[in-house]
Amino acid sequence: MLISLNRRLVPESQAAVSVFDHGFLYGDGIYETLRVREGEAFRCKEHLRRLAESARGIALTLPWSDTELAHAIHRVIRANRLTRGQAMVRMTVSRGPGPIGLDPALCRRPTLVLIARRYRPQPKVFYERGVSVILATTRRNAPQALSPRIKSTNFLNNILAKIEAKRAHTFDAVLLSLQGFIAEGTTSNVFIVRRGVLETPALKTGILAGVTRNEVLQLARALRIPTREVRLRPRALFHAEECFLTSTLLDILPVTRVNGRRIGTGRPGPITHRLIHAFPTVL
C-alpha cells in the first residue's frame, strides 16, 4: 500500500509520523473519510469544505488549496490501483511536529496523511435485517466544550461509547447530548420515522453535520417524504416505526433494535427501504 504523506507517496512501511506530532501527543488534528467509486471521490467538495471548517475551528491554516488536496486524493487512489470498484480514503491533518506544549504555534507545519484502501462494506444481512444499538451512558461532548463542527481526531468519548456497544454485543451505540436528547451514533447520524415523518436530531442538538445526513434529507424531500429536524427524546426512538444510521461508510443502515427492544415491526421499514434504493452510492 502506498500512503500519501505530506503529498509524497511512500510505502506503508516508511509512512511514519513524528512522535512529536501534536496529533499524537494531544489529539490535535482533524480528519475526513471519503468514499471512492471507479476512481472518483464521492462528494469530494463537501468533504473538503468540512475539512476547511474543521481547520478554521481549531485555528489551523491549511497550507494546501482544495485543488491540491483533491489532486493528492486522486493520486493516492491511482497509486494504489483503486480506480475500479469501490474504495475509501481517510484524510488526516494533524497540527504537525513541534516541542512538547499545547501552543499550536510550536508546530511549524501540519502533517497530511492520506490512506486509500478498498471499501469493505458491512455484511449484507445487516442491511436486510437491520442492526441493534444501545443508548450509551457516555454522553456526546457538549458543543460548548468542543464544537461539533470540528471533526477532530480526538475521539475518546465516542470510543468509550463504542466500548459500551461492544460489551453489549450490539453494532453501535447512540450517544445522548448532555441535555438528554438523541445526538448521534459513534460515527454516524441517526434518523427515525414517527407517524410517517422522517425525523433526525437538529444540528443545534450538538451533532456533526454529516454529509450523508444532508444527502438523505434532500433525497427524502425529493421523494416527498415529510422530514423534520428536531430535538428527539430517547422515548421517540423506543416508539419509532423505523430507524436507521447514516454515514459515508455505511450509507443508510437500518436499525431494528435498541437496548434489546424491537423498533417498529423489528424489520427495516418501508421508508428506510425507499431511501436505501434511491440513495446514489448504494452497492
**Residue 107 or 183: which CB sits closer to ligand PMP?**
183
CB of 206 to ligand PMP, least distance (A): 11
CB hemisphere CA count around 136 (13 angstroms)? 28
Q: Which residue has the cell 491549511?
A: 62
3-state secondary structure of 176: strand
**Residue 211 or 255: which CB sits closer to ligand PMP?**
211
CB of 162 to ligand PMP, least distance (A): 11
Residue 263 neighbours by CB under 8 Å, 6+ apart: 130, 237, 238, 240, 241, 242, 243, 255, 256, 257
Q: Which residue has the cell 442491511?
A: 127
CB of 105 to ligand PMP, least distance (A): 28
Cα angle for residues 263, 167, 249 (degrees, 5° grid): 65
CA distance 217 to 228: 9
CB of 159 to ligand PMP, least distance (A): 11
Rule CB under 6 A: which residues touch ligand PMP?
Answer: 33, 184, 187-189, 208, 210-213, 246-248
Instruction: Please say whether the beta carbons of 211 and 43 come within 8 A.
Output: yes
Instruction: Please say whether the beta carbons of 96 and 62 come within 8 A.
Output: no
CA distance 143 to 149: 9
CB of 151 to ligand PMP, least distance (A): 6
**Residue 107 or 275: which CB sits closer to ligand PMP?**
275
CB of 135 to ligand PMP, least distance (A): 16
**Residue 170 or 188: which CB sits closer to ligand PMP?**
188
What cell numbers appear for 151 in the block? 471533526
CB of 163 to ligand PMP, least distance (A): 15
**Residue 188 or 205: which CB sits closer to ligand PMP?**
188
**Residue 98 or 187: which CB sits closer to ligand PMP?**
187
CA 92 to chain centre: 13
Q: Which residues pair with 89 in a beta bridge?
A: 34, 116
**Residue 188 or 256: which CB sits closer to ligand PMP?**
188
Cα angle for residues 237, 239, 243 (degrees, 5° grid): 45
